[in-house]
Amino acid sequence: MMMRTTRRLLAAAALALPMIGGSASAQTWPERAITMVIPFAPGGPTDVVGRMIAEAMGRELNQNVVVQNVGGAGGTTGTARVAAAAPDGYTILLHNIGIATAPTLYRRLPYDPVTAFETIGLVTATPMIWLARPGLPVTNFAEMIRHVRERGEAVNLANAGLGSASQLCGTLFQASLGVRFTTVSYTGSGPIYPELMADRLDIYCDQTTSASSFVTSGRVRGLAVTTAEPMAQLPGIPTAGQAGLPGFEIGIWHGIYAPKGTPTPVVMRLNQAMRAALADPRVVTRMNELGSPPEPVERQNPDVHRAHLVSEIARWRPILQAAGQFAD
């Protein structure tokens, strides 16, 4: 009888050990550096946001948060890497709106954005701005609309690759006008600006985090922003709605993710660090300068983030399907 009791106690203790160990790990996490994967090239708008947040999160966590750029396939290469990573909180993902459009653009996507990740919280929604080459014969956004409607496929519209924010903005613009342009795709936004400044490309829609310095220095022309109200950081530039395209609003939202199965205490610690980063005065000042302020506190929440992801997948699916632009 005593032998059976002893065996039962030993078995129960053995089952309890992983739970105890997991709890202890969660309490002491993080014990080493964390990798933040950004699934786009260095220097792009999402990279700018991610590096600011990573540095500030590292200060809150007392561990380095090391940015790793894993570009390719419209952001899906780096995203797939995080989806397959160990769910221990040491590999996280900072992604933009592209995580919600990938399920439509990539019909054989190797992961489901809704089920493959734990959502940590929303970071920022970056406005976009319509840009024109210096020599384009227009003086404002309304004239640009007339010009591109008349010229159609003779217009060169740049984007930073399939699934990029600029490609989504361009797709929505063409759908709104009912006109197709000649799209010229690049790998990232970096190579586009020299071509635009040299008058070899006509128009481009980019995030303000990348575009603002080019506009304020006069190297390219900013014609309209995609916000509901004009931006104080870009005085004199109207909204697309004010300038002739009512309802044309698009913000490139960003969020942080961890692999599915990451322990809840670790998810909450990551959320805490993210919220601290978004309250850091240095981060807030810089993000405001770039026209991409932190999301309101109530949106820096894992549940709100998940609901937003689901709604954005549903929002973009019919637009992209109608455009017939698929990656596979």
User: How distant is the alpha carbon of residue 14 from its chain centre?
Assistant: 43
Pairing of strands 156-159, 182-185: parallel
40, 166 Cβ separation under 8 angstroms: no
pLDDT of residue 163: 81
The domain limits of the chain are 35-125+252-323, 127-225
pLDDT of residue 75: 92
Tell me yes or no: is domain 127-225 CATH 3.40.190.10. Answer: yes
Judge if 35-125+252-323 and 127-225 fold alike in CATH terms: yes
**Cα–Cα distance, 250 to 325 (Å, whole number):** 19
Instruction: Report which of 201, 291, 215, 279 is spatially closest to residue 252, judged by C-alpha positions.
Output: 291
148: CB partners within 8 A, 6+ apart:
155, 177, 179, 181, 202, 203
Query: Within 10 Å of residue 13's Cβ, how many Cβ atoms?
Result: 10
**Cα–Cα distance, 167 to 301 (Å, whole number):** 28
Just give the CATH number of 35-125+252-323.
Answer: 3.40.190.150
Q: Give the pLDDT of the chain (328 residues) as one tens digit per residue.
A: 444 444 444 444 444 444 434 444 667 899 999 999 999 989 888 999 999 999 999 999 999 999 999 998 889 999 999 999 999 999 999 999 999 999 999 989 999 999 999 999 999 999 999 999 999 999 999 999 999 999 999 999 999 888 888 999 999 999 999 999 999 999 888 899 999 999 999 999 999 988 999 999 999 999 999 999 999 989 999 999 999 999 999 999 999 999 999 999 999 999 999 999 999 999 999 999 888 999 999 999 999 999 999 999 999 999 889 888 777 7
pLDDT of residue 263: 97
CA atoms within 13 A on the CB side of 100: 24
Specify the amino acid at residue 162. L
pLDDT of residue 13: 42
Specify the amino acid at residue 11. A
Instruction: Report which of 7, 30, 94 is spatially closest to residue 274, judged by C-alpha positions.
Output: 94
pTM: 0.85
